[in-house]
Homo-oligomer: A and B are copies of this chain.
Amino acid sequence: MSPKASPDLALRRLSVVLAAREIAESDGWPAVTMRRLAGALGATQPVLYTVFAGRQDVVDAVALSGFEELAVALEAVEVVPMERMQAYLRFATAHPRLYEAMFSMPSGLPFASDGTPGELRRAFAALREAFPDKDGTRAEVAWSALHGLATLQHGGRLRADLAQARLELTHAMLTRAEGL
């Protein structure tokens, strides 16, 4: 039934994702080419297509792993607004390219639908835990504010010396807005 030693596909997937993350984090996403990925794995390009449909699929897999990591990072701190906010921003600044794949790049991942992956739900749930309300509006607003801070800050669009002030003001806003 198995003519040739069938390789561990799960392991191969993981290797590709890890290599993609490393290359992206060091040289940027445009440097993550199928040829370079194959080279980093000591294989040839067609091998990549045995576990991924294409380059976009690789990026999506990296993004998904990022959402899992973000969820872990958020759950690791206390269920307190400021703690979770700092954990979120810490994650974004520690892995800028990963964060880029998760939010700023074209993605084939389903988000608001029923097929939304569990990793995504977990990450949002960790935020909602810290910003509870009836329908989740407050958590979505908190998330938006954090995402805006993270991206504009990383893009150099905000004054670096005001980073702490922005965080504190955002925190004050989000917590005082408890009663609607």
The interface of chain A, by Cβ under 8 A from chain B, is 103-104, 107, 111-112, 135-138, 140-141, 143-149, 151-152, 155-160, 162, 165-166, 169-170, 172-174, 176-177, 180
Pairs A-B, 10 closest by C-beta atoms:
A148-B148, A144-B148, A173-B173, A147-B148, A137-B165, A144-B149, A173-B177, A145-B145, A111-B157, A111-B156
In whole angstroms, how far apart are the Cα atoms of A111 and B158 in the complex?
Answer: 8
Contact with A103, one of B135, B151, B172 (Cβ below 8 angstroms) = B151
Contact with A169, one of B138, B148, B170 (Cβ below 8 angstroms) = B138
A178 to chain B minimum Cβ distance, whole angstroms, is 11
Number of copies: 2
A174 to chain B minimum Cβ distance, whole angstroms, is 7
Contact with A104, one of B104, B172, B177 (Cβ below 8 angstroms) = B104
* A138 cross-chain contacts in B, Cβ below 8 A: 169
Contacts A103-B151, A151-B147: A169 and B112 contacting too (C-beta < 8 A)?
no
